[in-house]
Amino acid sequence: MGEIRSIVILTGAGVSAESGIDTFRDGGGLWEQHRVEDVATPEAFARDPDLVQRFYDMRRAAIQTKQPNAAHDALARLDAQWTGELLIVTQNVDDLHERAGARRLIHMHGEHLKAWCTACDARSSWLGPLGDRPACPACGVAGLLRPDVVWFGEMPYRMEDIYRALNRADLFVSIGTSGAVYPAAGFVREARASGAATLELNMEPSQGTHWFDAARHGPASALVPAWVAEMLEE
């Protein structure tokens, strides 16, 4: 591997699993007998907003009781100490990366702790439920707030910034993601095509594992601190 100046890290639900937040596709991927894919869509929200709000209200309340784990802590340490370029792109909508102290972070699938007003387009930080149809703090319209998360069929956030970073990366590392959901699942190929070395850290081989130059399999709380220590020693 040549000299590494620029790192892009993609994280998924596996990074937060050891904090006690359920992943999407382990354990059958069911919530109250609904496939997660059937809840996390604009069509589901149009059909049954109360059901979708209840799902997100439950998850929003749950993440506030969770704490970052050793994997979040190690990535925050790398962010603080890495003097070259670095970007953490997370598919996670929890706030555990930032609570651990990460700063160079993009939430490509949005954030649980924000509400998005479909009347005035404002985004507000939001800790409580949305199912009781509260008013938007910005415009005062009631009942038109939705979770500020990206649903299936919607465009993830800040894709231009992400592709720019992928095209400059010397190293791309994918952590705790099944590689099942695009466009994130395609990032490894984008980075490779631009000449980056690629590394997977996941509990098991992801769906795209063959695209990576190297893969290490095990719990993120062990793999990530070990890899970060290697990077900061180099």
Catalytic center residues: 109
Q: Any residues with CB less than 8 A from the CB of 114 and at least 6 apart, and which?
A: 123, 124, 125, 126, 147, 148
50 binds ligand OAD (CB under 6 A): no
40 binds ligand OAD (CB under 6 A): yes
Nearest by Cα to 25 from 37, 41, 33: 37
Whether 112 and 63 have beta carbons less than 8 Å apart is answered as yes
53 binds ligand OAD (CB under 6 A): no
Closest to ligand OAD by CB, 178 or 198: 178
Closest to ligand OAD by CB, 79 or 148: 148
Among positions 202, 211, 227, 228, the unique one binding ligand OAD when judged by CB under 6 A:
202
13 binds ligand OAD (CB under 6 A): yes
24 binds ligand OAD (CB under 6 A): yes
Closest to ligand OAD by CB, 35 or 141: 35
10 binds ligand OAD (CB under 6 A): no
Q: Give me the sign of the Cα torsion angle 184, 185, 190, 196.
A: positive
Q: How far apart are CA 72 and CA 90, in angstroms?
A: 11
Minimal distance, residue 164 CB to ligand OAD, in Å: 21
Query: Looking at 58-66, 79-87, 140-148, 176-184, which segment touches ligand OAD (CB under 6 A)?
Result: 176-184
Q: Give me the sign of the Cα torsion angle 74, 76, 82, 88.
A: positive
Among positions 26, 43, 121, 132, the unique one binding ligand OAD when judged by CB under 6 A:
26
Closest to ligand OAD by CB, 194 or 221: 221
Which DSSP string corresponds to 78-138? HHHH--SEEEEEE---SSHHHHHT--SEEETTEEEEEEEETTT--EEE--S-STT-PBPTT
Q: How far apart are CA 2 and CA 114, in angstroms?
A: 40
Determine the 3-state secondary structure of 158 from DSSP: coil
Q: Give me the sign of the Cα torsion angle 22, 24, 28, 30.
A: positive
Minimal distance, residue 196 CB to ligand OAD, in Å: 20
109 binds ligand OAD (CB under 6 A): yes
User: Interface residues for ligand OAD in 68-97 (CB under 6 A)?
Assistant: 91
| Contacting positions for ligand OAD (CB under 6 A) | 12-14, 17-18, 23-26, 36, 40, 91, 109, 150, 152, 176-178, 180-181, 202-204, 206, 219-220
